[in-house]
Amino acid sequence: MNFDYNEEQQLLADSVRRFVQKDYGFEERRKIVASAAGHSDAVWGTFAEMGLTGIPFSPDHGGFGGGATDLLSVMEAFGEGLVVEPFLATLMGAQCVARAGSDAQKKAILPAVVEGRLKMAFAFAEQGARYDLAQVAAQARKSGAGWTLSGEKRVVLGAPAAGRLVVSAMAPAGLSLYLVEAKAATLKPYRTLDEMRAADVVLASAPGELLGAEGGALPVIEAVVDFATALVCAEAVGAMKFSCDATLEYLKTRKQFGVPIGTFQALQHRIVDMFVAYEQAKSMAFLACSQADSATDAKERKRAISAAKIKIADNARLISQEAIQLHGGMGMSEELKVSHSFRRLTMIAQQFGDADHHLERFARSD
Amino acid sequence: MDLNYSQEELAFRDQVRGWLQANLPADLRDKIANYEELTREDLLRWHRILAKQGWVAPSWPKEWGGTAWSVVQRYIFEEECGYAGTPPLIPFGLSMCGPVLLKFGSEAQKKQFLPRIYNGDDFWCQGYSEPGSGSDLASLKTKAVRSGEHYLVNGQKIWTTLGHYADWIFCLVRTDSGTAKRQEGISFLLIDMKTPGITVRPLILMDGGHEVNEVFFEDVKVPVQNLVHKEGEGWTVAKYLLGHERMNTGRIGGSKRELAKLKEFAAQQTKNGGTLMDDTRFRDRLSRLEVELMALEITNLRFLDRMRRTGQPPGADVSMLKIKGTEIQQGLTELMMQAVGPLAQPFMAVNGDAGFDEFTAAIAPRYCNYRKTTIYAGSNEIQRNIIAKMTLGL
C-alpha cells in the first residue's frame, strides 16, 4: 500500500502544476478559449517538451511507458486549471493505435503524437446510442485494397484540432476501428458548454485504414473509453479541489451582517460536506487509474471504473452546485472561474456515462 | 502508487483471519450474525480469548501487553475482527481508560488498573454526558468536593453505555465551579461502581434494548488516589482521549460483512418473479452504498499511509471517517429493513411462540438502534464543526 507518487511522478506533478499556475491562469485560458482555434499551439509545444504527450506510450515510440496512474497528477492539475487543450482527445485516438494498431501504424502515428506534431480524436459516439459503445450505424466497406466509411459521429471531442481520427464503424465482420485523415471527413465544429472544441463528423465514402482486427474492436473501444474515464475522474478531482478551495476562500473573505459568512454554521457544514466529497472522489480516482493500468481482467476493470465514475458523477454534482450556492450571486457570474469549473464538472458527470449508466454496468459486473 | 497491502501485510491479514476463524466461538459468531443482544459474559469471554492470545490491547506499550504492531497492522486486525463478526471489544477500558492511565496515571494507578483492564477482570464504563451536557460537555455539573482523603461526588451521568455491566466508571466531574473558563476546574476520577450512593437506572431505547443507563451519584466517597492527572485538569485528559486512536471509526470491516449479508438476503427476497437484486430501484441504492464504502475504505487507507509516512497522529480530518462510516452503517440497516418488506413489522411475541423468525424480527429494531451512530461519540454535526475549525480554519 502506497499512495505516494514516485520521484518521477512527483517531479512531473510539480512541473505541470507550476506550468498551469504560471502560464495557464484564468486570463490566459480566457484568451485561448476565445481564439479561433480554441486551443494553443504554444501550450501544446510545451506539453510535448515536458513529455506529457508521451506518458502512456512505449519507449519504442519515444514515450515514457506509463499509464493512467502516471497521468493522474497531470489530469488533476489540468482539472484545477480547467485546461481546454485537446489532450484527452489526442490520448484516446493514439491509445486506439497503441492498443490495436500494427507495428507500421504505430510507427507512423505514435512518434508524431509523442513529439507533439500530431493531434488526434476518437469518433465513437453516435446519435441515439447514448453511452452504448457497440451501437454503431456508420458503415465500413471494402474498396480495393482499402476501406471507405460512411455515417455520422456525434460530439467528437478535439476533432477540429485533430490531424487524424480514429472512427468506429460496422464492417461485414462486425465492429471495427479505422484511421481516417481528418480532412477526408466533413466537420461541423462547435464550442462545448465547458469551453472545449468538438465536432460532429460526417463521413461520405471517406477512405479509412483498418486498425486492428476486423470485427474485433469492441474490447479495444471499451478499454480506451475506460482509460479515458479514469483520466476524467482524475481531472474532476482537480476541478473539485479548485471549487472547494475557491469556496473556502470566499467564505473567509466575504462579509455580511458584519462578519465573514464562514462564521455561519449552516455554511460551515455545507463546505465540510464538499471537502468530504472531494476526498471520497479522490480515493475513487486513485482506484480508477490504478485499475485502468493493472486490472487482470476486463470485468474487474469495468467494475472498479464504474464504481469510480458513479462517485465522481455524484460528487461532481454536489460540489459544483454547492460551490455556486455558497458564492451566492457572484457564483452565477461568467467572470468567476468557479462558474467555469461548474460547467466542466457538470459535463464530466455525464462524460463517458452518467451515474445511472455506470450503476447499471456496476451491477452487471458484480 | 499501489492500493494493495504489501506481501507482509497480506500474510499478517491471513494469519489474523485464520486465527479468528479457529478461535471465534460459534455461538458468539451466531449471536452477532443474528443481531442478538450480547450479555456481559459474552463480551468478557471474547475479551479474555483475545487477552490470552496477547491481542486484546494492540496499541498499548509492549511492557503492558501491547503487540508492537504497525498502524497498518492494527487497522487490519480491527477490520478483520469486524469482517469476521466478532463481539466488539468494549472500548471504555481498553481504548479509553487504559490509554489515559498510560499517559497521565501514577505508577500505582497503572499497576492497580491496567492488568485488570487487560485481562478483562474489570468491566469499565464512561461517565461523560449529563442531562444538560451533551455536545457541550464542558458545561458538566456533577460535583466532587474534596473532604480529607476523599472526594464527595454528587450529580448525574446519562447515556452510560453498559453501565449496568460495569465494575468501574471513569468520570469527568467539576472540582472547582469558580473558574473563569468552563474547561478549567474539571477533574478525571475513577469510581468503583459498588461504592454506596451510586444508582444505575436503565434507559430502554426504542428498539426495546437495554444498553444505556442513567447513573446517579449521592454523596459517593471516592478516595483521592483515584484522581487521574492533576485536580482541575481533567479537560486535558478528556481532549487527549478524543484524539486517541480513531483510525477505525469507519468500521469498514463490519460494514463489508453487513453488505455481503444484505446482498445474500436481498437475493432471497422474491419480487415480480425475480429477486430484489434484479429490482433496479433497490439495486441502485445498494450499489451507491457499496461505492460509498469502497471510497471510504480507500480514504481510510490513504490516512493510514499518511500516518505511516509522516509519523504524525491523524489530523482532525479523520472526523470524516466517523461521518461517512456511520452514514454507511445506517444506510445498510435501512436497506436491510427495506429488503425484508412487510415482514419488518413483527417485533415481539405477546405470549410464548409467535412463530416468526427471530432474525427477521431483529432487522427493524436494528434500524432503530443504529440511529444512535450519528449521534454518539461526538455527533456528526460536532464532527463537521471539528473539520470546519481544525482543518478548514473557519
Residue B267, Cβ neighbours under 10 Å: how many? 14
For residues B62 and B183, membership in a common domain is answered with no
Q: String of b and e for A3-20 (b: at least 16 CB within 10 Å)?
A: bebeeebeebbeebbebb
List chain B residues with CB under 8 Å of A284.
291, 294-295, 298
For residues B254 and B225, membership in a common domain is answered with no
To the nearest whole number, what is the mean pLDDT of chain A?
97
Report, as an integer, the average pLDDT of A211-223.
Answer: 98
> Does some domain include residue B106?
no
CATH number at residue B252: 1.20.140.10
In this prediction, residue B318 has a pLDDT band, given cuts at 50, 70 and 90, of: confident
Is residue A268 within 8 angstroms of chain B, CB to CB? yes
For residues B215 and B250, membership in a common domain is answered with no
Q: Do A3 and B302 touch (CB under 8 A)?
A: yes
What's the number of domains chain B is made of?
Answer: 3
pLDDT tens-digit readout, B43-69: 999 999 999 999 999 999 999 999 999
Residue B68, Cβ neighbours under 10 Å: how many? 10
| Residue that is written with C-alpha cell 472526594 in the block | B151
Q: Name which of A3, A252, A359 is nearest B287 (Cβ-Cβ).
A: A359
CA distances from B245 to A257, B135, B346 (A): 40, 20, 40
Q: Name which of A1, A268, A284 is nearest B6 (Cβ-Cβ).
A: A1
For residues B190 and B254, membership in a common domain is answered with no
Q: Name which of A1, A271, A362 is nearest B3 (Cβ-Cβ).
A: A1
> Does some domain include residue B183?
yes
Is residue A300 within 8 angstroms of chain B, CB to CB? no
Contacts of A184-190 with CB under 8 Å at 24 or more apart are A187/A159, A187/A160, A189/A159, A189/A160
pLDDT tens-digit readout, B338-369: 999 999 998 888 887 777 888 999 999 999 99
Q: Do B381 and A269 touch (CB under 8 A)?
A: yes
Q: Do A314 and B284 touch (CB under 8 A)?
A: no
Q: Do B320 and A271 touch (CB under 8 A)?
A: no
List chain A residues with CB under 8 Å of B304.
1
Tell me the shortest Cα–Cα distance from B309 to chain A, in angstroms: 9
What pLDDT shows up at residue B181?
A: 94
- Answer yes or no: is pLDDT of B245 > 60: no
Task: Report which secondary-structure segment, H or E, holds B30.
Answer: helix B26-33
Q: Do B295 and A283 touch (CB under 8 A)?
A: yes
Catalytic (active-site) positions of B: 245
Q: Do B394 and A271 touch (CB under 8 A)?
A: yes
User: Taking CA atoms, what residue in B is nearest to A271?
Assistant: B388
What pLDDT shows up at residue B42?
A: 97
In this prediction, residue A357 has a pLDDT band, given cuts at 50, 70 and 90, of: very high
Is residue A296 within 8 angstroms of chain B, CB to CB? no
CA dist., res. A345 & res. A322, Å (int): 12
For residues B188 and B276, membership in a common domain is answered with no
For residues B152 and B268, membership in a common domain is answered with no
For residues B273 and B336, membership in a common domain is answered with yes
CA dist., res. B319 & res. A248, Å (int): 18
| Residue that is written with C-alpha cell 475557491 in the block | A246
Residues on B contacting A at a C-beta cutoff of 8 Å: 1-6, 9, 72, 280, 283-284, 287-288, 290-292, 294-296, 298-299, 301-302, 304-306, 309, 317, 320, 323-324, 381, 384-385, 387-388, 391-394
> Does some domain include residue B290?
yes
pLDDT tens-digit readout, A85-118: 999 999 999 999 999 999 999 999 999 999 999 9
> Does some domain include residue B112?
no
Mutate to test the interface with B, among A283, A306, A364 (most CBs of B within 10 A): A283
Q: Do A286 and B1 touch (CB under 8 A)?
A: yes
pLDDT more than 70, % of chain A: 100
For residues B222 and B251, membership in a common domain is answered with no
**Which of B261, B249, B275 shows the shortest CA–CA distance to B380?**
B249
Tell me the shortest Cα–Cα distance from B118 to chain A, in angstroms: 31
What pLDDT shows up at residue A314?
A: 98
In this prediction, residue A366 has a pLDDT band, given cuts at 50, 70 and 90, of: confident
Domain boundary among B233, B258, B283: B233
List chain B residues with CB under 8 Å of A354.
none
**Cα A260 from chain centre:** 37
In this prediction, residue B243 has a pLDDT band, given cuts at 50, 70 and 90, of: low
Tell me the shortest Cα–Cα distance from B69 to chain A, in angstroms: 16
Tell me the shortest Cα–Cα distance from B303 to chain A, in angstroms: 10
In this prediction, residue B313 has a pLDDT band, given cuts at 50, 70 and 90, of: confident
Give me the domain span that covers residue B291: 246-391
For residues B180 and B133, membership in a common domain is answered with yes
> Does some domain include residue B374?
yes
Sign of the C-alpha dihedral computed for residues B240, B244, B249 and B254 taken in this order: negative
What pLDDT shows up at residue B219?
A: 98
Q: Do B288 and A276 touch (CB under 8 A)?
A: no
Domain boundary among B212, B233, B254: B233
pLDDT tens-digit readout, B175-195: 999 999 999 999 999 999 999
Domain boundary among B72, B89, B106: B89
CATH number at residue B193: 2.40.110.10
For residues B222 and B268, membership in a common domain is answered with no
For residues B223 and B253, membership in a common domain is answered with no
What pLDDT shows up at residue B358?
A: 84
pTM attached to this predicted model: 0.95
| Helices first, then strands: H and E counts in chain B | 13, 10
- Answer yes or no: is pLDDT of B333 > 70: yes
CA dist., res. B127 & res. B172, Å (int): 6
For residues B179 and B212, membership in a common domain is answered with yes
Residue B233, strand partner residues: B186
pLDDT more than 70, % of chain B: 99
- Answer yes or no: is pLDDT of B244 > 90: no
> Does some domain include residue B201?
yes
User: Taking CA atoms, what residue in A is nearest to B280?
Assistant: A360
> Does some domain include residue B241?
no
Residues 6+ apart with CB under 8 A from B288: A310, A314, A359
> Does some domain include residue B115?
no
Sign of the C-alpha dihedral computed for residues B45, B46, B49 and B54 taken in this order: negative
Is residue A301 within 8 angstroms of chain B, CB to CB? no
Q: Do B295 and A269 touch (CB under 8 A)?
A: no
Is residue A248 within 8 angstroms of chain B, CB to CB? yes
Quick one: A282 exposed, middle or buried, by C-beta within 10 A (0-12, 13-18, 19+)? buried
Q: Name which of B9, B306, B388 is nearest A272 (Cβ-Cβ).
A: B388
Domains and CATH numbers, chain A: 7-114 (1.10.540.10), 120-216 (2.40.110.10), 219-364 (1.20.140.10)
Task: Report which secondary-structure segment, H or E, holds A187.
Answer: strand A186-191
**Window 60-79 of A, Cβ < 8 Å to B:** 69, 72
